C-alpha cells in the first residue's frame, strides 16, 4: 500500500472572541521568515518559512471555524502570509479593529491507497 | 670458472652503449659456444647474485627461446637495423636482442604472458620503429625543402635589419665628423657646450647599443610563417627617421656649409634622442604590450583530449602559437599513442553489420542516407555488452598496474639500500670504490626486471631506454636523492611532460599552423587555430578575459552581530 499526500486549500472564517480587553482567536502560530524552518514539525518542505498553526485551543473560535493543527496560513484578510516575519504575522492576525478574520489555509492530508482499505 | 665469468662481463658491457655493435656480433666474436649453453650458465650465475625473480625468468626464458623460430629472429634483426636508437634490453631476461624494441602486442592477458615475451614480438604498434622509417623520410624531405626556402627569407630579413641598425648607429657619428673633415677651417670654435654634447652623444649611443643588444640580439625561438608586423613597422620607422635626417643634413648643412658647429652637434644629439625613443617604442610594442593578460587560450590535444588553459596578452596568432608550443612541452604529458586505443577484444564484436537491401528503384542519395541511418539505428538498438568488457578490462588493467607498481617500488627501495656514499674518513680499497655510473649500473640490475614489467604494463617503454634509465639513476645517486626520485616520482610512474624525455624524436620542431584568419592578425575573442603535427594536433581556442567590475563594500568590524535562531510560538 502507499500513502498519497494531498494538499488542499480551505477558506476559514474566524470570529474573534472578546476576552476582557483582547480579541482572541484561539490558536497559536509558528514560523516566519526570521525563524528557523527546520524546526517546523508540520511542514513537508523543511525550507518552508511560512506561518503554521501549532496549537488550537479546545472550543475556541478557531476550532469552531474548522482550523486544524498543522495548517499553513497563506492569507489573512487578503494579506499574504507566506513571506512575513513572525511578528508581522502576529500583528496581522491581532488587529484591534477587525472582528472577523478570513484565512486561506493549506492543509495536507494523507490518504491510504484504496487497495489497502479494500484488503483490510 | 673464469670463462663463464668473462662471458658474463662481456655480455654486460655490450647492451649499455647505444652505438655498440649488436649483441649478435659480440656473441659471434666470443669463443664459439652454443648460445643456449651460455645462456644457461649465465642464468645460473645470475641467480646467485640477484634476487629470486631471475631464477624464475631463466626458466621461462628458456622456454621462450626454444619456441622462438628463425622467423622471429629474422624479424627482430630487421627491426634492430631500422631502429634509430637502441632501446633498453632487460639484462636479466634478454640476451639476444639488445636493440629489441620492447613493444609487444597489445596483450592484455595476465601476468604469465609477460614471461614468455620472447614469442610475442610480432607486431609493433603505433608510431614505433617500424613506421618511423617511412614517416621520417617524408618528414625529412619536407623539412629540407621548407627550411631551404625559409632560411633565405629569414636571413634576408635579419641582414636587412642589421644593415639598417648599423646605418642608424653610424649616422650621428657621421653627422659629427663630416663638418670636421670637410670645412674644418671655417668652423666656429665651440667650447664647453660642445664637449658636454659630445659626452652625451657618446653615452646615449652606448646605451642605445646595449639596449639594442638586449632587445634584438637574441636567438630566434621560432620561424614564423609570416613577417612579424611590429618589427617591420619599427624598421620602416627607423628607416624613415634616418632618411629624413640625412635629407635635412644634406640640404641645410652640407650644401650651405653651415659654420655653426654647435648647431650641427645639437642636430646629431637630437637624432640620437629620436633613436632612443624609437628603441623605447620597440620595447613597448615587442615586449610590454603582451604582458598584461587579455585572453585565455584553451589548448586541447586532439588525440587524447589533454587540455590546458593559458593567459596571454595581445599577441598575433603566430606569436600566440609559439607561446602555446613553448608551454606545451612542459605542461602536457607526453603523447603516447599506445594508450589511445580500446583493446581489440572490446571492439571486435561490433563488426557484424547489417546488410540492407533496397527494394524498388535506386534513388541514389536519399536511399543511401536512409540506409545508413537505418543501419546505425539498428546497431544502436542491438544489445551489446562491449561496455561491460571494457569495464572489466579497465579494472583488470588497473589491478595489474598497481601490482607491478608495488613490485617496482619495493625493488627500487631495496636497490638503493645497496649503495652508500663514501665518507672521507672511511678507508676502502680502490677496487670497491665506484663512480656514479658504475654505482648506477650496479643497482640497476636488481630493479631492472620490475622496471621493465611496469613500463610495459603502462605502455611507456618506448620512452625509456636503458641508457636513459641509467643516466637518471646516475643523476639521482650523484645528488643523494631518495629512491622515491630514482625509481618512482614523476619520471616513471606517470607519463611526464614531453620535455623531460630528452630525445630528438619526441621534441619535434616542425609544426604547422592552420588558421582561418591571417596569422599576423591579433587575437580576438572566438578565434580558433590548430597546430598540426603528423599524428595529432593541438586545437587552440581563444576567449576574452571578461571585464571585471569591482565594487567596494566597507564592513565595520563592529557590525558583526548574531542572534540565536528561534522557533517561537505565539498565541493569537
Q: What number is the ipTM of this complex?
A: 0.78
What length is written for chain A? 120
B567, B570, B572: residue with CB nearest A39? B567
Q: Do the chains contact at A93 and B567, CB–CB below 8 Å?
A: no
**Beta-sheet strands, E only, within B252-399:** 295-301, 307-312
Distance from CA of B563 to the nearest CA of A (A): 11
Comparing A25 with B57, which gets the higher pLDDT?
Answer: A25
Q: What's the pLDDT score for residue A65?
A: 93
For B77, B354, B487, the CA distances from B377, given in Å and listed in that order, are 49, 11, 50
Separation of alpha carbons B206 and B570, rounded Å: 89
pLDDT band at B354 (very low <50, low <70, confident <90, very high): low
Comparing B429 with B477, which gets the higher pLDDT?
Answer: B477
Distance from CA of B557 to the nearest CA of A (A): 23
Q: Do the chains contact at A86 and B572, CB–CB below 8 Å?
A: no
Q: What's the pLDDT score for residue B193?
A: 84
Q: Do the chains contact at A28 and B572, CB–CB below 8 Å?
A: yes
Residues B463 and B409 in one domain: yes
Residues B485 and B520 in one domain: no
Whether the per-residue pLDDT at B30 is higher than 90: the answer is no
Q: Which residues contact B447 (CB under 8 A, 6 or more apart)?
A: B408, B411, B412, B414, B415, B487
Q: What's the pLDDT score for residue A112?
A: 52
In a domain, B41, yes or no: no
Test the A interface: residue of B564, B565, B566, B571 with most A CBs within 10 Å: B571
What length is written for chain B? 572
pLDDT digits (tens, 9 = 90+) for B393-407: 889 989 998 998 888
Residue of B nearest to A26 (CA): B572
Separation of alpha carbons A74 and A83, rounded Å: 9
Of chain A, the percentage scoring pLDDT greater than 90 comes to 57
Whether the per-residue pLDDT at B150 is higher than 80: the answer is no
Residues B181 and B272 in one domain: yes
Rounded mean pLDDT of B482-500? 68
Q: Which residues contact B185 (CB under 8 A, 6 or more apart)?
A: none
In a domain, A3, yes or no: no
Q: What's the pLDDT score for residue B128?
A: 42
Separation of alpha carbons B123 and B70, rounded Å: 16
Q: What's the pLDDT score for residue B478?
A: 85
Residues B306 and B285 in one domain: no
Whether the per-residue pLDDT at B92 is higher than 80: the answer is no
Whether the per-residue pLDDT at B303 is higher than 80: the answer is yes
Sign of CA dihedral B71, B73, B75, B81: negative
pLDDT band at B355 (very low <50, low <70, confident <90, very high): low
In a domain, A96, yes or no: yes
Whether the per-residue pLDDT at A45 is higher than 80: the answer is yes
Residues B163 and B280 in one domain: yes
Whether the per-residue pLDDT at B470 is higher than 50: the answer is yes
Q: What's the pLDDT score for residue B89?
A: 37
Q: Look at B269-278, B306-315, B523-532, B561-570 and tell me which has the smallest mean pLDDT.
A: B561-570
Whether the per-residue pLDDT at B445 is higher than 50: the answer is yes
Comparing B380 with B465, which gets the higher pLDDT?
Answer: B465
In a domain, A4, yes or no: no
Residues B260 and B234 in one domain: yes
Residue of B nearest to A60 (CA): B572
Residue of B nearest to A25 (CA): B572
In a domain, A74, yes or no: yes
Comparing B131 with B423, which gets the higher pLDDT?
Answer: B423
pLDDT band at A116 (very low <50, low <70, confident <90, very high): low
Q: How big is the A-B interface in CB pairs under 8 Å?
A: 36
Residues B299 and B230 in one domain: no
pLDDT band at B479 (very low <50, low <70, confident <90, very high): confident
Residues B490 and B517 in one domain: no
Q: What's the pLDDT score for residue B202?
A: 93
Residues B441 and B397 in one domain: yes
pLDDT digits (tens, 9 = 90+) for B177-196: 888 888 777 777 778 888 89
Q: Do the chains contact at B568 and A30, CB–CB below 8 Å?
A: yes
Q: What's the pLDDT score for residue B481?
A: 81
Q: What's the pLDDT score for residue B57?
A: 37
In a domain, B378, yes or no: no
Q: What's the pLDDT score for residue B122?
A: 43
Q: What's the pLDDT score for residue A39?
A: 84
Give the orientation angle of helix B436-457 with respect to helix B386-416, to 10 degrees: 170
**Number of alpha carbons in the 13 Å side-chain half-sphere of residue B274:** 20
In a domain, B273, yes or no: yes
The whole domain housing A109 covers 9-118
Which residues, in sequence order, are bridge partners of residue B537?
Answer: B532
Separation of alpha carbons B246 and B178, rounded Å: 12
A46–B contact, CB cutoff 8 A: no
Rg (CA), chain B: 36
Whether the per-residue pLDDT at B157 is higher than 70: the answer is yes
Residues B453 and B397 in one domain: yes
**Number of alpha carbons in the 13 Å side-chain half-sphere of residue B163:** 8
- Supply angle C-alpha B230, B233, B234, rounded to 5: 90
Residues B448 and B528 in one domain: no
Whether the per-residue pLDDT at A29 is higher than 90: the answer is yes
For residue B566, the chain A residues in CB contact (below 8 A) are 35-36
B565, B566, B570: residue with CB nearest A90? B570
For B206, B244, B293, B539, the CA distances from B530, given in Å and listed in that order, are 43, 43, 21, 5
What is the total count of domains within chain A?
1
Separation of alpha carbons B487 and B467, rounded Å: 14
Q: Look at A36-45, A47-56, B420-429, B442-451 and tell me which has the smallest mean pLDDT.
A: B420-429
pLDDT digits (tens, 9 = 90+) for B97-127: 333 333 333 333 333 344 444 444 344 344 4
Q: Which of residues 513-572 of B touch A (CB under 8 A)?
A: 565-572
Query: Is B337:B128 a contact under the CB 8 Å cutoff?
Result: no
Q: What's the pLDDT score for residue B367?
A: 59
In a domain, A2, yes or no: no
Comparing B385 with B178, which gets the higher pLDDT?
Answer: B178
Residues B411 and B331 in one domain: no
Test the B interface: residue of A29, A67, A71 with most B CBs within 10 Å: A29
Query: Is A93:A101 a contact under the CB 8 Å cutoff?
Result: yes
Q: What's the pLDDT score for residue B507?
A: 61
Comparing B26 with B438, which gets the higher pLDDT?
Answer: B438
Distance from CA of B564 to the nearest CA of A (A): 10
Q: Look at B62-71, B88-97, B321-330 and tell me which has the smallest mean pLDDT.
A: B88-97
Look up the CATH number of the domain holding residue A94. Answer: 2.30.42.10
pLDDT digits (tens, 9 = 90+) for B511-567: 888 888 888 888 889 999 999 888 888 999 999 999 999 999 999 999 898 876 667
Separation of alpha carbons B233 and B282, rounded Å: 10
In a domain, B5, yes or no: no
Reading the block at residue B564, the C-alpha cell is 540565536
In a domain, A1, yes or no: no
How many helices (H) and strands (E) are present in chain B, helices listed first?
18, 6
Q: Look at A28-37, B199-208, B269-278, B439-448 and tell me which has the smallest mean pLDDT.
A: B439-448
Whether the per-residue pLDDT at A100 is higher than 60: the answer is yes
The whole domain housing B231 covers 156-289
What is the total count of domains within chain B?
3
pLDDT band at B462 (very low <50, low <70, confident <90, very high): confident
Q: Do the chains contact at B570 and A27, CB–CB below 8 Å?
A: no
Q: What's the pLDDT score for residue B347?
A: 57
Comparing A120 with B223, which gets the higher pLDDT?
Answer: B223
Whether the per-residue pLDDT at B138 is higher than 70: the answer is no
A24, A35, A39: residue with CB nearest B572? A24
Greatest mean pLDDT among B148-162, B222-236, B375-389, B397-411 lies in B397-411
Separation of alpha carbons A27 and A67, rounded Å: 9
Rounded mean pLDDT of B482-507? 66
Of chain B, the percentage scoring pLDDT greater than 70 comes to 61
Greatest mean pLDDT among B9-18, B182-191, B444-453 lies in B444-453
Q: What's the pLDDT score for residue A117?
A: 55
Which residues, in sequence order, are bridge partners of residue A100?
Answer: A15
Whether the per-residue pLDDT at B483 is higher than 90: the answer is no
Q: What's the pLDDT score for residue B26?
A: 42
Distance from CA of A92 to the nearest CA of B (A): 10
Q: What's the pLDDT score for residue B68?
A: 42
Query: Is A27:A67 a contact under the CB 8 Å cutoff?
Result: yes
Separation of alpha carbons B118 and B124, rounded Å: 14
The SS3 of residue B126 is coil
Q: Look at A62-66, B374-378, B440-444 and tell me which has the smallest mean pLDDT.
A: B374-378
Mean pLDDT of chain B: 71
Q: What's the pLDDT score for residue B295?
A: 92
Amino acid at each position: 500500500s502507499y500513502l498519497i499526500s494531498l494538499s488542499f486549500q480551505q477558506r476559514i472564517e474566524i470570529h474573534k472572541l472578546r476576552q476582557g480587553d483582547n480579541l482572541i482567536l484561539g490558536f497559536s502560530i509558528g514560523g516566519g521568515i526570521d525563524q528557523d524552518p527546520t524546526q517546523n514539525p508540520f511542514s513537508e518542505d523543511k525550507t518552508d518559512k511560512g506561518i503554521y498553526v501549532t496549537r488550537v485551543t479546545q472550543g475556541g473560535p478557531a476550532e469552531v471555524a474548522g482550523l486544524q493543527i498543522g495548517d499553513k496560513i497563506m492569507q489573512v484578510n487578503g494579506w499574504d502570509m507566506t513571506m512575513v516575519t513572525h511578528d508581522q504575522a502576529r500583528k496581522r492576525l491581532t488587529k484591534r479593529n477587525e472582528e472577523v478574520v478570513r484565512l486561506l489555509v493549506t492543509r495536507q492530508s494523507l490518504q491510504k491507497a484504496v487497495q489497502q482499505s479494500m484488503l483490510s | 670458472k673464469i670463462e663463464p665469468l668473462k662471458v658474463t662481463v662481456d655480455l654486460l658491457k655490450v647492451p649499455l652503449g647505444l652505438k655498440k655493435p649488436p649483441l649478435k656480433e659480440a656473441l659471434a666474436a666470443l669463443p664459439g659456444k652454443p648460445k643456449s649453453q651460455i645462456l644457461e650458465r649465465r642464468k645460473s650465475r645470475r641467480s646467485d647474485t640477484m634476487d629470486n625473480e631471475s631464477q624464475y625468468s631463466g626458466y621461462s626464458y628458456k622456454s621462450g627461446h626454444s619456441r622462438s623460430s628463425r622467423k622471429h629472429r629474422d624479424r627482430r634483426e630487421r627491426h634492430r637495423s631500422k631502429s634509430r636508437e637502441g632501446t633498453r634490453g632487460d639484462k636479466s631476461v634478454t640476451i639476444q636482442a639488445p636493440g629489441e624494441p620492447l613493444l609487444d602486442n597489445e596483450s592484455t592477458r595476465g601476468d604469465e604472458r609477460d614471461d614468455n615475451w620472447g614469442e610475442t614480438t610480432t607486431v609493433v604498434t603505433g608510431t614505433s620503429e617500424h613506421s618511423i622509417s617511412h614517416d621520417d623520410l617524408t618528414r625529412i624531405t619536407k623539412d629540407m625543402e621548407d627550411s631551404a626556402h625559409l632560411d633565405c627569407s629569414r636571413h634576408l630579413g635579419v641582414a636587412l635589419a642589421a644593415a639598417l641598425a648599423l646605418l642608424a648607429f653610424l649616422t650621428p657619428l657621421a653627422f659629427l665628423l663630416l663638418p670636421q673633415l670637410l670645412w674644418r677651417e671655417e668652423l666656429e670654435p665651440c667650447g664647453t657646450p660642445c664637449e658636454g654634447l659630445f659626452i652625451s652623444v657618446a653615452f646615449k649611443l652606448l646605451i642605445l647599443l646595449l639596449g639594442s643588444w638586449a632587445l634584438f640580439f637574441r636567438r630566434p625561438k621560432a620561424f614564423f610563417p609570416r613577417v612579424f608586423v611590429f618589427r617591420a613597422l619599427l624598421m620602416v620607422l627607423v628607416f624613415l627617421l634616418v632618411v629624413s635626417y640625412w635629407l635635412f643634413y644634406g640640404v641645410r648643412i652640407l650644401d650651405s656649409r653651415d659654420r655653426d658647429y654647435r648647431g650641427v652637434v645639437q642636430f646629431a644629439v637630437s637624432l640620437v634622442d629620436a633613436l632612443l625613443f624609437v628603441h623605447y617604442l620597440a620595447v613597448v610594442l615587442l615586449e610590454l604590450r603582451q604582458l598584461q593578460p587579455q585572453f585565455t587560450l584553451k589548448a586541447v590535444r586532439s588525440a587524447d583530449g589533454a587540455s590546458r588553459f593559458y593567459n596571454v596578452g595581445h599577441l598575433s596568432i603566430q606569436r600566440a602559437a609559439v607561446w602555446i608550443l613553448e608551454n606545451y612541452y612542459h605542461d602536457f604529458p607526453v603523447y603516447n599513442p599506445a594508450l589511445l586505443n580500446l583493446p581489440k577484444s572490446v571492439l571486435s564484436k561490433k563488426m557484424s553489420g547489417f546488410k540492407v537491401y533496397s527494394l524498388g528503384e535506386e534513388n541514389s542519395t536519399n536511399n543511401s542516407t536512409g540506409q545508413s541511418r537505418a543501419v546505425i539505428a539498428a546497431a544502436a538498438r542491438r544489445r551489446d555488452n562491449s561496455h561491460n568488457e571494457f569495464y572489466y578490462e579497465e579494472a583488470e588493467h588497473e589491478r595489474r598496474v598497481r601490482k607491478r607498481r608495488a613490485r617496482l617500488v619495493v625493488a627500487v627501495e631495496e636497490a638503493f639500500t645497496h649503495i652508500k656514499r663514501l665518507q672521507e674518513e672511511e678507508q676502502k680499497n680502490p677496487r670497491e670504490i665506484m663512480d656514479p655510473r658504475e654505482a648506477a649500473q650496479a643497482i640497476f640490475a636488481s630493479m631492472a626486471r620490475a622496471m621493465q614489467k611496469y613500463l610495459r604494463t603502462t605502455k611507456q617503454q618506448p620512452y625509456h631506454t636503458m641508457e636513459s634509465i641509467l643516466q637518471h639513476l646516475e643523476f639521482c645517486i650523484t645528488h643523494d636523492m631518495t629512491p622515491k626520485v630514482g625509481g618512482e616520482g614523476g619520471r616513471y610512474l606517470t607519463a611526464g611532460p614531453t620535455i623531460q624525455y630528452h630525445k630528438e624524436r619526441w621534441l619535434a620542431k616542425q609544426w604547422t599552423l592552420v588558421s582561418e584568419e591571417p596569422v599576423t592578425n591579433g587575437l580576438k575573442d572566438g578565434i580558433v587555430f590548430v597546430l598540426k603535427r603528423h599524428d595529432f594536433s593541438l586545437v587552440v581556442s581563444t576567449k576574452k578575459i571578461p571585464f571585471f567590475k569591482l565594487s567596494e563594500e566597507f564592513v565595520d568590524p563592529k557590525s558583526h552581530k548574531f542572534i540565536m535562531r528561534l522557533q517561537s510560538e505565539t498565541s493569537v
